[in-house]
Structure formats: C-alpha cells, structure tokens
Structure 1
Amino acid sequence: MLLLLLISSAFVLPWAGAGEIIGGKVVVPHSRPYMAYLKIKVTNKTGTFHSYCGGFLIQPDAVLSAAHCVRVEVTVILGAHNIHDEEESQQWISVRDWVFHPDYCPVTLHNDIVLMKLKKKAKINKNVKLISLPSSNERVRTGTKCEVAGWGWTSLYGSKTDVMREVELKVQNDKPCQKVFRRYQRRSMMCVGDQNSGKSTYKGDSGGPLVCNQKAHGIVSHGLESRLFPKVFTMASYFEPWIRQHLLGNWMQTLSVRMRR
C-alpha cells in the first residue's frame, strides 16, 4: 500500500494502489475502454517496488486519477483486461508530467485529484476510448446507480484477480459520510455505497472512475479499512473548471510538483 495513515479514531485514509471490487462481476473484455491501469514506482527505506492504481482516459494524452496514488514514476496501461497477460490490445505509455490540485492535502485527502500528461498520445480504437466528464453544474441524484471498475482486492482478506471487474453502487446523500468522516466536504466529495449489500470498492480501487449515465462523475478516493460502507469519491464536476484549464494547454511546470514523501 502506498498510503495508510490513521488520522483519528474515526478516519482512516485509503488503500492506495488500484484495485478491485468486492461483490462485483467480471466485465466483458475491453467493454470499459476508458479504463487505465497505473503502474507506480515506489521507493522507501526498504527499497523499490511497484504498486498500482486506477485511472481513466479523458483525452488521448491525458488521464485522471486520485492524487494520493501518484509517485516518482508512473506508467499507464490502456486497453487491458487481464493485466498480467501480454494482450495485443494493451498500450503502455509513460507519464511525462502531472498536476495535483493546488489545494490537495495528503493527510485529509481533500481535493484528491491528479491530471496526468502522457509522453505520447494513445491510439484511440475499439479497445481504447475516452470517457466524458460532467459539466461544472451537473450533479448525480441520490439513489442513482453507477458503476466502478478495477483490478485488485475482491475481499477484505486480500483476494485478487488479474481481470477487470465491476460493481454497481448507489449514490448516497451526504449524511452517512458526514457521520463517519469528520473531514468530509460535501461540495467536492460524493458519498457512495450500498449498505448491507456486500458490494464496495476496496484496496485499492483508488483513482478509478464512478461512471453514472456514461460520464465519469467521481474518482475513488477513500474509506475505512474496517468497513465496506460508505466510501468517499472525489466529485469530478466540482473540479471541471480546473481540469478544463489544464487541458487547454496550461500545463504549468510550477504546478507539476511531484509529491515526495
């Protein structure tokens, strides 16, 4: 895991590294062509290893993910179903640069969003496609059923799978998350999950999109390690003006500060 910090007795930050789904199902191969698998180089006191996260393609050379995922070196894999097979559909592209939201906080996970610039444009085809973002004034109604896909943990005990899976989750009102997460921000976060359903994102679907009505309305951010419900997602519509600003060409080096921890 890249990040596992105890903030308070009621707040645990996520499982960074992308992952899977609890209570979901295997998707039809390449039916989620916007999905990106992030292979992340991590260096700490014990050495160097690779972790992983989710993300999604919004332009041929731009991927969105969760800020807490990104480290010194990131490779994006597009067009994958079985991430451990050498599929002909896969495109491996290094990340050239990235921009964290200027108010991102790695402790509270406020503004947990990163925009990554690829070294080259992805080849758009039947296995690799873009997904649309909501406009700044779009919101998802409470009770809306959305989907989240990923590769990783399929149970609380670390079971994994190599193929992409997906789970359907309901958008909640803010109350469950306000009760559990005292730093929850209703303007920029979404509360998602199905209580008592046995369905959830988990370690670590971080960075993957919450797809509602064919748009990426949320980004998997964090939750409590000890429970499946509720989970907090970064609200994409709140950050749409900031995303648009950088997609129009304002990739300022002064904002592309790599977080070294």
Structure 2
Amino acid sequence: MLLLLLLASAFLLLPWAGAGRIIGGWEAKPHSRPYMAYLSVQSELGAFACGGFLIRPDAVLSAAHCVAGKKKVNVTVTLGAHNINKNEPSQQMFHVGHWVIHPRYSGYTSENDIMLLKLKPRAKLTKSVSYIPFASHKERVEPGTMCQVAGWGRTSMPGDVTSVLMEVDLKVQCEEKCTESFKYYRSVTMICVGDENGKKAAFRGDSGGPLVCNRKAHGIVSYGPKNSIFPEVFTRVSYFEPWIRAELRKFALQDRPDSPSSV
C-alpha cells in the first residue's frame, strides 16, 4: 500500500504517518490486549511502525503493505507493551528475520493484504503476552456487529500523539458502503468497517492491527478513504485461514533439527 499510484484513489493507512493512530478512542487498560504487537520497521524510506497480533508463540499476523515494496527492511516486533516509549518489564522484543507476504498481494489494489512474521525464539506466554484465536474459514462477521481495534500513537488527524495503547469500538458495515467508496473492494477477502458518524476510526499507522469481534481476530487494518475516516477496509482473516495454516506448518518444519533453515 505504499505505492504512490494508490494515493490517487484511496488514502492508505500509511505506516510512516505514525504508529497506531486511533481516532475517537480511549486508553486501553494496561495489558488487557496481550496479543497486540508493535512492529518497528526500518528501510531505505526511513523508520515507521505498524500493528500486528500474536496468533501462536512463534507467529504474528500483520498487513503486507507494512514491508512490501521496500528495500533493506529490518523489522522488530515488541510484545507485552502498554507504553511503547518505556522499557517495561513485561515487554519482549524480537528481531524478525523471516516473514511471508501473501503471494497474490497487490500494492495497487490492496488485495490479499496479509503477512505472517516468524518469531525466533518463541514468545514466552505471560499475563501480558498471549495469542488470540483467529476466525476459521467458514466464519463470517455480520453487519452491525460491534468490534474493537487497538493501536499506539496519534489520536487525531492533526497529529496529537500518545505512546500508550489506545482502543476504539467500530461497527461492521454492509458491503455496499465500501463497494461504493472503493473501486477494488472485494467482499470475499475484505471486511467493511467504520463509524457512520465519522468520529471514530483506525487511521494511518494502525495498519496490521486486528479487528477483534466476539474475542476472535476477524480482520486486519488495511486501508481507508482519502479525505475522511469512513468507511474503512480490513483484510478478512477467515478467507485466508487455509493459507495461514499452511504457512504455520512450514514454520514448524523450519524448526526441525534436520531443516537447513534451522541452522
């Protein structure tokens, strides 16, 4: 989503614009969302951040556009954080050496905007660090369902900044809201979400964070409109469950003693 070609039609949730920009939300109770991951990304374009979420002790899900199309990329994942600017005892930090972008990800259409990062060593599960279940292939979240999104950083479009985890409630919308707004919206692989009053939103930099509905991760923050904050598009996790499972099996094989990649 970092391709400038897209900016003409849809303002992507550009990760370099600030980490976890939650609008109209509130500070989360510290460590109440122990699955949240903070991704610090460095490349030739500079340093920026994205969100993500732990789905297994060795795996974090996020958005492909956080790293796609960049060179000399270094990714650091922090788990167990509330105030990302403090060295909290609960935090676990990982320098990620391996990630997988969906093979059909398109920076132009924002389709298949999903990425899986491998943590090595595995995360240590604690009260502040644990994984969240994600939607299975047959599960769909219905319009009208109230879900939650969380992230770190700016809390308004003008750029007010916070370093603590913020959260906001957002409602799943009918597909027409997004098909009317976005040329490349695909209901099979995407979820339409937002606050019709235009007061609450995930915004730039929240990219990769989870849309949590009924205690499961159903979506991944992907992109939104150019000049407003409604509606927003999330990657539909349930559609990609088979791909996620296949990649997780590969992760397990890589950890075998006889695997060349485990050396």
**Where does residue 258 of structure 1 map in the other structure?**
none
Distance in 1, Cα, partners of 2:102 & 2:116:
8
CA deviation vs aligned residue, 1:138-157 (integer Å, no higher than 9, x gap): 00011000000000221111
1:1-261 → structure 2 map (5 Å cutoff): 3=2, 5-7=4-6, 9-17=8-16, 18-44=19-45, 49-70=46-67, 72-249=73-250
Distance in 1, Cα, partners of 2:130 & 2:8:
42
Report percent identity of matched pairs: 55
**What is the letter of the counterpart of residue 59 of structure 2?**
A
Residues 8, 34 of structure 1: alpha-carbon distance in 2 compared, 3 angstrom cutoff: closer
TM-score between the two structures when normalised by the length of structure 2: 0.90
Residues 60, 167 of structure 1: alpha-carbon distance in 2 compared, 3 angstrom cutoff: same
TM-score between the two structures when normalised by the length of structure 1: 0.91
**Where does residue 259 of structure 1 map in the other structure?**
none
* Structure showing the higher helix proportion among its residues: 2
After TM superposition, give the deviation of residue 251 of structure 1 in Å.
7.8
- Which has the higher mean CA deviation after the structures are superposed, 2-11 or 231-240? 2-11
Residues 203, 13 of structure 1: alpha-carbon distance in 2 compared, 3 angstrom cutoff: closer
Structure 1 residues without counterparts, runs of 5 or longer: 254-261
Q: Does the CA contact (< 8 Å) of 1:99 and 1:251 recur in 2? A: no
Distance in 2, Cα, partners of 1:230 & 1:251:
38
CA deviation vs aligned residue, 1:69-126 (integer Å, no higher than 9, x gap): 0251100000000000110000011112011111001121110000011121000000
What is the total number of aligned residue pairs between the two structures? 248
Distance in 2, Cα, partners of 1:4 & 1:229:
21
After TM superposition, give the deviation of residue 158 of structure 1 in Å.
1.4
Residues 9, 86 of structure 1: alpha-carbon distance in 2 compared, 3 angstrom cutoff: closer
Q: Does the CA contact (< 8 Å) of 1:39 and 1:50 recur in 2? A: yes
RMSD: 1.7
After TM superposition, give the deviation of residue 3 of structure 1 in Å.
2.4
Runs of 4 or more, structure 1, over 4 Å off, are 250-253
Residues 9, 244 of structure 1: alpha-carbon distance in 2 compared, 3 angstrom cutoff: same
After TM superposition, give the deviation of residue 10 of structure 1 in Å.
3.6
